[in-house]
Amino acid sequence: MDKVPSQLVKPDFDTIFMELADNLAKRSHCIKAQVGAVLAKDTRIISIGYNGPPAGTHNCDEEFPEEGCPRDAKGSCSLALHAEQNAILYAVKNGSNIEGSTLYVTLAPCIACARVIYTMKIARVIFLNSYAAYKGIAVEEGVEFLKRFGVEVFQYGSTR
């Protein structure tokens, strides 16, 4: 069997979009976690996002460079939007139809983001890293919620 030259091997779209999400995470001004997201449909990008405070407010790494921004009662950032929220909000704000789309995100959705993802009728979520491991909790709450209500969810690189 002939081997295909590496320059001719084309990455699949899951790889392309996850690599973009990973690069977008580097734009985050959060000093605790950098998360990126890509919303795509039919091999086309609808929207992108990364975690951070609403546009025009502040940058956490500049305003709170030592300790990061204030935390809420659950220990989460009290000032920022999650990467998924930013991608979804930007798409909807600009009139994009996101129903049936796929969300690529570098950290599995939290339960609050999972509710938004389900409500917006996003069909698939592909995540890179575990939110549960990041937060030190036993259950991947957002993933379990989405699966329970019929959203296809899997970790990038795993078998489906």
Active-site position among 67, 84, 99, 141? 84
84 catalytically annotated: yes
CB neighbours (10 Å) of residue 124?
A: 18
31: CB partners within 8 A, 6+ apart: 60, 61, 64, 65, 68
- How far apart are the C-alpha atoms of 61 and 104, rounded to whole Å? 25
With beta carbons less than 8 A apart as the criterion, state whether 38 and 16 touch.
no
Tally helices (H) and strands (E) across the chain.
6, 5
- How far apart are the C-alpha atoms of 35 and 33, rounded to whole Å? 6
Q: Which two tokens stand for residue 26?
A: 């580097």
Provide the 8-state DSSP code for 77.
B
- How far apart are the C-alpha atoms of 76 and 78, rounded to whole Å? 6
Provide the 8-state DSSP code for 9.
P
Residues annotated as part of the active site: 84
